[in-house]
Amino acid sequence: MGGAGFPTHVKLSPKNADEIDTIIINGSECEPYLTSDYRRLMDEPEKVIEGLRIALSLFPGAKGIIAVEDNKPKAIDLLREKLAGDTNITVNKMKTKYPEGAERQLIYANTGRYINSKMLPADAGCIVHNVDTAYAIYEAVREGKPLTRRLVTVSGDAITNPCNFNVPTGTSYAELIETAGGFKGTPEKIIAGGPMMGKAIYSLDLPVTKSSSAILCLSRDEAAEYEPSPCIRCGRCVSVCPGRVMPNQLARLASANDMEGFVKNNGMECCECGCCSYICPAKRPLTQVIAGTRKLVLANKKK
């Protein structure tokens, strides 16, 4: 139930099952505005913990980690209280920084192990689950419930009453916004997901799916207020890239349709976090250009 929607049964059936020694529950929720995972941890921590225990039962030698950023002290204290005396699961307090919740960064922060775009977490002996995934595992195994509902954050300065909703999948975005009090005014931008990795949408006639984390409604489209200008080679995009690549170079290669050069310069290591576009003083859409080329490279591989 994370952003990528990767199937849980596949994660829990790795080829190297005997090498799995860590299962991480991603409770970092590092994107601005999003609070649905935090709400789940505060309201139903027992079910999230039990879902993790069920997953751990498949790997006898594995330990569990619930990773939460330190801007959620109440959730950390509550989880540690619930897990007092449990030697198999620990609650790790992580630094509040973006994109700490990205899979590669999460694994490195909690285990010191590094994975790249050619590897899966299982190659590093890890399995990573979203908070709501652990909750869904509990409901499926202990209560026999199929996945029919989702916690969704409805937020942004254009929303009258920002809040979280527990809704059936298939509920329309328009209905959620109406239930949150509607718009204060006409929003300039509506995003499905968070402000960094979410996708802009142009219609509210869309359904909530299992991976719908949020609907973000903004009164101003700040990203569109500036026209992109030529790269000034300041290097800021390089300094903030968690994948340790050169976004300015990758964007140049992508714009020239140089697929070979793009791959050779580690373009596939980009996690599309949006940090480079955010920091760029020339307001260049680096992430979007790089992401489009990554999709083309993957499509060509499939062919």
Q: Over the stretch 196-254, which tens digit does the pLDDT of each residue have? A: 999 999 899 999 999 999 999 999 888 778 889 999 999 999 999 999 999 999 999 99
Domain end among 106, 122, 142 = 142
Neighbour order of strands in the sheet with 214-218: 163-168, 149-155, 214-218, 189-192, 199-201
Answer for the pair 94, 28: CB distance below 8 angstroms, yes or no.
yes
Two tokens at 5?
């929607």
Write out pLDDT tens, residues 9-41: 999 999 989 999 999 999 999 899 999 999 999
Is 231 among the domain residues? no
How far apart CA 102 and CA 166 sit, in angstroms, is 24
**Which of 73, 48, 78, 58 has the alpha carbon at shortest distance from 11?**
58
Flag whether 298 is in a domain: yes
Asked whether residue 230 is assigned to any structural domain, the reply reads no
pTM: 0.92
| Residue 116: domain span | 8-142
DSSP string, 82-94: HTTT-SSEEEEEE
213 within domain boundaries:
yes
- The span from the CA of 100 to the CA of 180, in Å, is 29
Domain count, the chain: 3
Q: What is the CATH number of the domain that holds 194?
A: 3.10.20.600
Report pLDDT digits (tens) over 197-213: 999 998 999 999 999 99
Are both 80 and 186 inside the same structural domain? no
| 191 and 65 inside one domain | no
229 in a structural domain: no
Same domain for 20 and 76? yes
Peptide bond into 99 cis (omega under 30): yes
Question: What is the per-residue burial (b if ≥16 Cβ within 10 Å, else e) of 62-98?
Answer: bebbbbbbeebeebbebbeeebeeeeebebbebeeeb
